[in-house]
Chain A
């Protein structure tokens, strides 16, 4: 297991280097930073000077090394649009996005898994059919449309929940949380439901198909033949065997939800990283884009590592080394 962890960590470092390289390339491909920084009437000499002070005259690999060194220290430069350190901007926005993403992922799990189990066990019931049909809508409707519908119903018509923003937030160290105030929680409801629509339907369909598969296996038949209760057969034996793919998909979904919260954050004007990123794209704010790219890459890598560790917790076949003997 230790060897596995070390190998995965090394792979993660490689992945992060690749992501950092792409992020770094943004600086060179999306326009010349010097001409962006200097007024149009600057002389060639001014340009050379700025180039030198910024270290842009150095060979490519030296620049990349500097970029990596700075990035490791959390230094991604200054936002061109806002004139503030990028790391500070992201740190401000990160809690909002993470809270939204985790709320959505939790909804995905706590609604998706029971619905998946139910539709697998009661395949013929009309509720199952209704859920499956509805889930198709969940998969195919675009996120922003669901968000706008929810705003229309719950914010405009019923007036129960706010349609935008994060409500009142509490500062705990560097973390700002909306979970401790009523307005904060109310503000979280609509965007997290919007964002969870896809994970819920995906997890439900996944759990359902995995359950149907597992329920056909010999060990489930044998568990029934041993007279175990339905509860134990369904939840103790069947559900646990569906967990490996569910963990994988949930992990990927969590990463995806964080990375692609952009649309939902835009619809609900949620002050998270996605909103920051979309504004950065509009202004060609390269340092913010590069840093966002690195951060999302990092989050994906961390989630994948955690997912791999969870496999070990769930499946003993990976956990235990095979003993030498064990013959007849």
Chain B
């Protein structure tokens, strides 16, 4: 069991996100349960469309309509935030939960200097004067490694490179000292050489500030380097969740096993990488029972009729009937 002893910072219970369409309701995220402890880095991995970004968007209350939270609860420091009004939730965003998006080139408003955007964020959330906010902004830019911050603060986004812009975005996410940051593919749009810098910067800053991170990515390498725990998502559900070391080296869910097997490693001399046959089901054609059953190598009868919840599986928790003998399904 990896549930931290301290009270969780963020707790997501039975979250379901739906998209009503003309041809019925699509369930994009179904029955997600996860917790993040203060200062912890939780990685969320999965293929495109597994619902990882939507889970993040649901937590900060920025699901694009018509997407909506259909069921479940989201608690931040024990307080429910999924049912807040737009205005109340606005005060949570930035102040208590920061966000970093995928593309730093488009995350900043091109018409305002980066200083103005940081200052505006600080002043929206904290009771400071403009000059105090400016000093803080310069300190933040220094902290994220922008050289000559006093001068660069008045520059516009187009005057920065992609990596520098992502540093600015990180400083914006940290501007009002949130306790949690949702980082949605923060390095995907960057050069490989820059990715490592940004990841180590994010890790360092969050450790120093005691900020917890929900790191959404499809890059297992990033997760292995950064996260304390990892949640593997498949078809809108959590397939497996546990300490990052155990999930990587001793995966319990057949999907995670397949996922880990498909990662090439140096020194491993194989003709072809193993791959999982088939593709993730479309949202309107999720099979009965376990969503992974048509692709699973260890499928048996129960998988085709009954959907497994997360259950203890060795050092991790997996939603797979193979582990049913350990204990009956427990939520957690």
B-binding residues in A (CB < 8 A): 217-219, 221-230, 232, 236-237, 240-241, 314-317, 320, 322-323, 326-328
Contacts and interface: CB of A to CB of B under 8 A. Distances in A.
Given A222-B169, A317-B158, A328 B194 contact: yes
Interface string B167-199: 001001101100000000000000000100100
A227 B110 contact: no
B55 to A, nearest CB: 15
A237 B94 CA distance: 17
Given A322-B159, A326-B161, A226 B109 contact: no
A328 B94 contact: no
B262 interface: no
B93 A226 contact: yes
Contact of A224 (B93, B95, B158, B194): B93
A116 to B, nearest CB: 18
Contact of B163 (A223, A229, A317, A328): A328
B90 interface: yes
Given A219-B108, A222-B101, A317-B110, A227 B161 contact: no
A230 B85 CA distance: 13
Contacts of B86: 230
10 contacts: A218-B103, A224-B90, A225-B99, A226-B98, A226-B121, A227-B124, A228-B124, A323-B155, A323-B159, A328-B161
B130 to A, nearest CB: 15
The 7 closest A-B pairs by CB, nearest first: A227-B94, A225-B99, A227-B93, A218-B106, A316-B156, A226-B94, A222-B107
Contacts of A315: 110-111
Given A226-B172, A232-B124, A328-B197, A219 B106 contact: yes
Nearest to B156: A316
A326 B156 contact: no
B109 A225 contact: no
Given A225-B62, A328-B161, 4 more contacts: A219-B110, A227-B92, A326-B159, A327-B161
Interface size class of B (residues with CB under 8 A): 35 or more
B111 A314 contact: yes
Given A218-B107, A219-B108, A314-B111, A229 B90 contact: yes
Contacts of B103: 218
Interface string B241-256: 0000000000000000
A225 B159 contact: no
Contact of A225 (B60, B111, B163, B197): B60
Contact of B124 (A226, A241, A322, A327): A226
A282 to B, nearest CB: 50
A240 B101 CA distance: 22
A251 B110 CA distance: 23
B77 interface: no
Nearest to B109: A219
A282 B163 CA distance: 67
B195 to A, nearest CB: 11
Contacts of A240: 111
Contacts of A317: 110, 156, 158
Given A316-B156, A320-B159, A227 B101 contact: no
Contacts of A314: 111
Given A227-B93, A227-B176, A316 B101 contact: no
Contacts of B111: 240-241, 314-316
A240 B176 CA distance: 25
B203 interface: no
Contacts of A322: 158-159
B93 A225 contact: yes
A223 B197 CA distance: 25
